[in-house]
Structure 1
């Protein structure tokens, strides 16, 4: 499967779960020329190859119609920051949005079997930290916020915004995204019990 087809499959997979509502979210994968990224304003439930733009690592469009979302610059910054990142999947979910507002200093996770789906984790008994970074409409400032907390091997949350999952392959990035979303959904559900 080509990088383009694998990325389109990942976008469709996330959108069908309701993780990219109202044309939200953006998705990208590194290529030998830069990275493929979704164009701005595209309904992710019916995205096609023509909705992907090829950009260089400075965020400039090399091929494709339309314009990348403003957040494409953050994807470019991530690819420049860490050469092991091959995919960035950004979604907007209720759990990630609510919990990022409730825990702006980061979210501690422990005791969940699903933690082992996050690269480098061997046991559910470990306590892991899911980073949360301050939001900004200025992509340079947002990128600075991310750089200040690096490394973030599975990704991070942006306050009031959503998840940015990263991975060394598209498949790993999908796994990280699904695991993070599951862990956040569990954490949100648990918070209801504690009231």
Structure 2
């Protein structure tokens, strides 16, 4: 399966989870000469190959019709920041949006078996922190927040916005996204108990 096919499959999967409401979210994969990224305003439940644009690492469109997502520049910044990143998957879920507002300094995880799905972790006993960066409509400012908090090996949350999962491949990024979304759902559910 090519990176394009893998990316399309991952987008359709994320949309099927309900993680891309109102055409939200954006998705990309590094390819030779740049990265593929979703065009702006496309319904992710009906994603097609021609909904992907080829951009260079400065975010300029090289091939495809339409304009890239407003956040494509953040994808470009991530690919420039870390050459190990092969994929970026960005979704909007209730858990990631609410918890990123409630815990602007990061979300602590401990005791969850699913932590082991995050690359480099082998135990549920470790305490991990999912980083949260301040939101901005200015992608240069948002990219600066991300650079200041780097490294973030599985991704990060943007306050009041959602999650950006990263991985060395589409498969690893998808695993990170699914694990993080599960963990955030657990934290959100636990927070209801304490009220």
Other-structure match for 2:126: 126
Q: Distance between the aligned counterparts of 1:117 and 1:92, measured in 2?
A: 20
5 Å matches for 1:86-97? 86-97=86-97
Other-structure match for 2:12: 12
RMSD of Structure 2 on Structure 1 (CA): 0.3
Q: Distance between the aligned counterparts of 1:175 and 1:23, measured in 2?
A: 22
CA deviation vs aligned residue, 1:117-176 (integer Å, no higher than 9, x gap): 000001001000100000000000000000000000000000000000000000000000
Flag structure 2 segments of 5+ consecutive residues without an equivalent. Answer: none
Other-structure match for 1:105: 105
Q: Distance between the aligned counterparts of 1:19 and 1:125, measured in 2?
A: 29
Other-structure match for 2:145: 145
Q: Distance between the aligned counterparts of 1:21 and 1:44, measured in 2?
A: 9
Flag structure 1 segments of 5+ consecutive residues without an equivalent. Answer: none
Q: Secondary structure of the equivalent of 2:119?
A: coil
Q: Distance between the aligned counterparts of 2:79 and 2:89, measured in 1?
A: 12
Q: Secondary structure of the equivalent of 2:177?
A: helix
Other-structure match for 1:185: 185
Other-structure match for 1:58: 58
Other-structure match for 1:26: 26
Other-structure match for 1:173: 173
Other-structure match for 1:161: 161
Q: Distance between the aligned counterparts of 2:131 and 2:32, measured in 1?
A: 29
Q: Distance between the aligned counterparts of 1:135 and 1:183, measured in 2?
A: 22
Other-structure match for 2:135: 135
Q: Distance between the aligned counterparts of 1:6 and 1:99, measured in 2?
A: 29
Other-structure match for 1:68: 68
The count of aligned residue pairs is: 195
Offset of residue 33 of structure 1: 1.1
| Divergent runs of 4+, >4 A | none
Offset of residue 69 of structure 1: 1.1
